[in-house]
A and B are shown apart, each in its own frame.
Chain A
């Protein structure tokens, strides 16, 4: 296992189209996080899964955004009816099990979305 994998690396889409991103975490990590990073800003939390359960969602995650982790392994993040403001780097991270885990999260390289 070489780390957290995100696909695609880049996505250009027209406004109003739907897009889906995929994240494959480190295999033994049961926790998975999605973050969004816009230019000049730090990553902002979007949502968090523990196994297949989505335990927390940010207010940033509007109704147009949906995330799934159906079998507790890979996750998908879908954006419907994309807007130009959705243009950002979407980062996925994973961390191992443990109630008070003290590990730094492992991040993927991200998917850069450009909405034109």
Chain B
């Protein structure tokens, strides 16, 4: 079974400071990893993904994430936070499906609320 852990319910950061939102995962095969952002009463918006290749993945709105296979982590980062980044962030994982030959579902973490203040 695949799973995702987001150990922090909330992350507080001042505008202009760097931010990190933590995520660790567990899958039986090679992981496909995703970050999504959710604003109030809205669906999830795709930020970035890791499939293969460089461990540092760049995504939308200046966000990036670092894949660390040995630590099974995929932390979301941004060098300089904005107040408008305040939202709920979800990490998600799916097995690559190489051993089944089929696409499988995304499994999400419980989310981390990012609060950026002036």
Contact = CB atoms under 8 A, between A and B. Distances in A.
Given A41-B110, A42-B90, A100-B98, A33 B43 contact: no
A87 to B, nearest CB: 14
B3 to A, nearest CB: 11
Interface stretch (B65-73, B75-83, B101-109): B101-109
Say which size band chain A's interface belongs to: 20 to 34
A99 B42 contact: no
A31 B110 contact: no
B11 interface: no
B46 A101 contact: no
A65 interface: no
B14 interface: no
Say which size band chain B's interface belongs to: 20 to 34
B44 interface: yes
B106 A105 contact: yes
Interface in A88-111: 91, 93, 95, 98-110
Contact of B110 (A4, A40, A50, A102): A40
Interface string B1-30: 000100000000000000000000000000
A109 B42 contact: yes
A104 B46 contact: yes
A16 interface: no
Contact of B103 (A6, A95, A109, A112): A95
A105 B111 CA distance: 17
B41 to A, nearest CB: 7
A41 B111 contact: yes
Given A102-B32, A102-B49, A109-B42, A42 B109 contact: yes
Given A91-B43, A109-B42, A42 B111 contact: yes
Nearest to B35: A104
Contacts of B41: 112
Interface of A: 4, 6, 31, 33, 40-45, 48, 50, 55-56, 91, 93, 95, 98-110, 112
